[in-house]
Amino acid sequence: MESINKLRNKWGVGVIQFWLIIATFALGGSLSGYLNKKVLNLVFEEKNAAYWVFYPIVLTILWPFSVILVSFVTGQFLFFKGYLGRVLGRLFGGAGKPTDKKVTPAAATNPTHIAIFASGAGSNALKIIEHFENTDKSRTPIKVSLIVCNVPTAGVLNIAKEKGIPTLLINKAEFNETGYVQSLQNADIHFIVLAGFLWKVPEVLVNAYPKAIVNIHPALLPNYGGKGMYGSHVHDAIIAAGETESGITIHWVDAHYDEGDIIFQAKCTIQSGDTPEVLANKIHALEHAHFAPTIEKILLS
Query: Torsions phi, psi of 221, nearest 5?
Result: -60, 150
Query: Torsions phi, psi of 119, nearest 5?
Result: -120, -10
| Residue 261: DSSP 8-state | P
| Residue 93: DSSP 8-state | T
- Which neighbouring-strand residues pair with 245? 269
Q: Please give the full DSSP string across 187-228, using - where no structure is assigned.
A: TT--EEEESS--SPPPHHHHHHSTT-EEEEESS-TTTT-STT
- 256 catalytic residue (yes or no): no
Distances (CA, A) of 13 to 43, 170, 191, 220: 41, 9, 20, 36
Exposed, middle or buried by CB within 10 Å (0-12, 13-18, 19+), for 220? buried
Distances (CA, A) of 248 to 192, 210, 230, 241: 18, 22, 12, 17
CB 134 within 8 A of CB 155: no
For residue 7, the one-letter residue type is: L
Query: Active-site residue among 217, 235, 251, 290?
Result: 217
Give catalytic residue positions. 217
